[in-house]
Chains A and B, each alone.
Chain A
Amino acid sequence: MSELVLEVRNLSLAYGATLAVKSISFEAFEDEILAIVGPNGAGKSTLLEAVAGLHMAREGSIAFKGRSLTGTSVFRRRLMGIVLVPQDENIFPGMTVRENLEMGAFRTRRGNVKQKLQYVFDLFPRLKERERQMANTLSGGERRMLAIGMGVTGEAQLYLIDEPSVGLAPRIVTKVLESLKTLQRDTARPIVVAEQNTKVLHVAQRLLGMEAGERRFFKSVGSLSQERLKELYLGLCEREREA
C-alpha cells in the first residue's frame, strides 16, 4: 500500500471575483505520476500554484502527508519538500544556466548538489554545453529544459511540474515525459504534472481532467483502453497540438 502524499479537498480558488478553480478534489500517492489535463484556462496552473502556496484557498483544504497546509508560506512548503516548476517566469534571467541550477538546488543538502547537477546534465546535455550562458539568452525550448532542471535539482517530497513539454520539439517532448518516469522511479516521489500533450498518457498512472475550473474526470490510466482515454482527453482539448 503506497503512502498518501497530497490530499486536496473541495478546493476553490479565485482571482478577485472570478473563480478559476471550483471545488476540486484529488489525491496523489507516493508511487505515481498524476497528470492534470484540460484546455487553456482550465485552471491547471492555478491549482498547482495553490499547492505550492502561491494562492490562498477561497474554500476547501490542502493536506500534505496528513498535515494541513492552510497558512503555510511558499517558503515553508518548499522546506517541507514541495517543489514547483512554474509554467511562466520560471528562470532567473540575469544568472547563468549553472547559477540557475544552483538556485534550484538551494535547499538541497550540500553533499548531494553535485550529483543532482550531473543528473540534470545527463537529462539535458544541451544545458551542460551552455552552462556559462546567461539564462535570458537561451531559446524558448532551452529555457523550458532549464526550468525543469531547476526543479529536478531540488530534493523533493512532491514534484509539481507545469506544462513541461510546451515549446519543445516532438522528439524532446517524448524524452522529457519519459524522463519524468525515470525521475519518479529514481526518487520514489509523486509527480503532479499539468500537460496538454497526449503523450502524457504514456507516462501517467492517473488523469485528472479539468475544464473551466471544474473536475470532469479522475481516472486511473490502467483501467481504460488507450482509445477511451484519448476520447476523454480529446473531449476536453478540442484543438490538439500534435499527434
Chain B
Amino acid sequence: MEILVRGLVNGVIMAGILGIPVMGIAVIYGMTGIINFAIGSIGVFSAYITWYFMDRNVLLAILLGLSCGFGLGYLIQVLLLTPVFERRKGDLNLFFLITNSLGLIFVGLTRVIFPRPTIRLDLPRLGSLTLLGVSLTGMRLFAVLFVVGCLLLLWLVETRTRVGKSWRATSQNLRLAKVVGINTGQAFAVASGIGCMLGSLGAILWGSLYNLTLTTGFQLTFTGYIIAVVGGIGNIIGGMVAALIMGMVISFGGYGFAGAWQSVVLYGIAMVVLVLAPKGILGSERSV
C-alpha cells in the first residue's frame, strides 16, 4: 500500500516535470503547425544564464532565464520561422532541419559563452512537506502545481479573453484569421515565446533535480516531443495525459526494472501507442 501511494505521488511529480516541455511543444505546434526541436537547447541556454546569475539573487536569475527563453522564442519566430513559413507552408522536413540546426547553434553558443560542460542548479528547496506519507521538496510540488496552473490559465485566456480567442481562431483557420484582421504574425511569435519559456523552465527544473549538460536540451526536446505525439500533438490535454502515463511508468518502473531499462520500456510504450493510434491518445486536429 505504501509503495503504491509513493509510486503514485512520484509519478505525478515526474509527470509535472516532463509535462512542462511537452506543453511548450504543444503550444507552439498547436498555433503554428511547426515543431520546434530547438526548445530544449534554448531552454538549456536560458538555464545556464539562470545558473550564472544565481549567486546574486535566485528569483531574479530565474526570471532572467525565463525572459531570455521567451525573447529568443519570440525573435526566432519573427525573424526566421514566420518568413520561411510564409513561403514554404507545411514543409515539415524543412522545419525539422531548421529547428534542429537552431538547436545545435544554441548548444554551440552555450559552450562558447559558458565554458562549463556540466552544471547543477541549486534551487532553494522551498522547504519540504509530507504528503500521504511521502516527503517532498517544495520545488517538486511547485512543478506539478505550475503545470496545473498553466493549463487553467491557458484555458481561461483562450475562452474568456479577446486576445485568447484570436489565438484559437489563428490556429483553426490561419487565412481567415488574417482576413478578419488578427495579427497572426504576433500570435505566432507569442506562442513561440511561451513555448521556449516553458522549455527554459523545464531545463531549470531538470537542472535542479539532475545535472544539465550541453546535450540535455536535445534529450528534453526529444522526450517532450515523443510524449506530445503520444498524447496527440498540439492537443495540450492529451500531452498532459501522456506525461502522466510516462511519469507513472518511470515511477513504478523504478521498483520493477533497473534504470537502464527505463528508456527501452518508455519508448517501447510510445511505439506501441503510435502503432495502435497514430494520432495519439486523445487525437489531434493536425497530424504529424
Q: Chain A residues near B285 (CB, 8 Å)?
A: 94
User: Does B46 make an interface contact (CB < 8 A)?
Assistant: no
User: Does A172 make an interface contact (CB < 8 A)?
Assistant: no
Those of A143-198 within 8 Å (CB) of chain B? 150, 154
A110 to B160, CA, bound (A): 16
A21 to B182, CA, bound (A): 28
- Whether the pair B180, A78 counts as a contact (CB closer than 8 A) is yes
A102 to B166, CA, bound (A): 9
User: Does B22 make an interface contact (CB < 8 A)?
Assistant: no
A76 → chain B, closest Cβ, in Å? 9
- Whether the pair B168, A94 counts as a contact (CB closer than 8 A) is yes
Q: Chain A residues near B183 (CB, 8 Å)?
A: 75
B56 → chain A, closest Cβ, in Å? 42
- Whether the pair B173, A93 counts as a contact (CB closer than 8 A) is yes
Known: A92-B173, A102-B162, A103-B169. A84 touches B181 (CB 8 A): no
User: Does A90 make an interface contact (CB < 8 A)?
Assistant: yes
- Whether the pair A154, B180 counts as a contact (CB closer than 8 A) is yes
B179 → chain A, closest Cβ, in Å? 5
- Whether the pair A74, B179 counts as a contact (CB closer than 8 A) is yes
User: Does B150 make an interface contact (CB < 8 A)?
Assistant: no
A185 to B36, CA, bound (A): 50
A106 to B161, CA, bound (A): 12
Most chain A CB inside 10 Å of its own CB: which residue of B176, B177, B181, B184: B181
- Whether the pair A89, B175 counts as a contact (CB closer than 8 A) is yes
1/0 per residue B164-195: CB within 8 Å of A?
A: 01101100110111111111110000000000
Size class of the B contact interface (CB-based, 8 Å): 10 to 19
Number of A-B contacts defined by CB within 8 Å: 62
Interface of B is mostly: helix
User: Does A213 make an interface contact (CB < 8 A)?
Assistant: no
Q: Chain A residues near B169 (CB, 8 Å)?
A: 92, 95, 103
Interface of A is mostly: loop
- Whether the pair B182, A106 counts as a contact (CB closer than 8 A) is yes
Q: Chain A residues near B184 (CB, 8 Å)?
A: 75
Q: Chain A residues near B182 (CB, 8 Å)?
A: 75, 103, 106
- Whether the pair A78, B172 counts as a contact (CB closer than 8 A) is no
Nearest opposing residue in chain A for B185, CB measure: A75
User: Does A57 make an interface contact (CB < 8 A)?
Assistant: no
A106 to B181, CA, bound (A): 7
- Whether the pair B173, A78 counts as a contact (CB closer than 8 A) is no
- Whether the pair B180, A103 counts as a contact (CB closer than 8 A) is yes
- Whether the pair B176, A89 counts as a contact (CB closer than 8 A) is yes
User: Does A79 make an interface contact (CB < 8 A)?
Assistant: yes
B181 → chain A, closest Cβ, in Å? 4
Residues of A in contact with B (beta carbons under 8 Å apart): 52, 54, 73-75, 78-79, 84, 86, 89-95, 99, 102-104, 106-107, 150, 154
The 3 closest A-B pairs by CB, nearest first: A78-B181, A107-B181, A74-B178
> Can you report 11 A-B residue pairs in the complex whose CB atoms are below 8 A from each other?
A54-B175, A54-B179, A73-B178, A75-B181, A75-B185, A90-B176, A92-B177, A93-B172, A93-B173, A103-B165, A103-B166
Query: Given A74-B178, A78-B180, A92-B169, list of 15 further CB < 8 A pairs?
Result: A52-B179, A54-B179, A74-B179, A75-B178, A78-B178, A89-B173, A91-B173, A92-B177, A94-B172, A99-B165, A102-B162, A103-B165, A103-B169, A103-B182, A106-B166
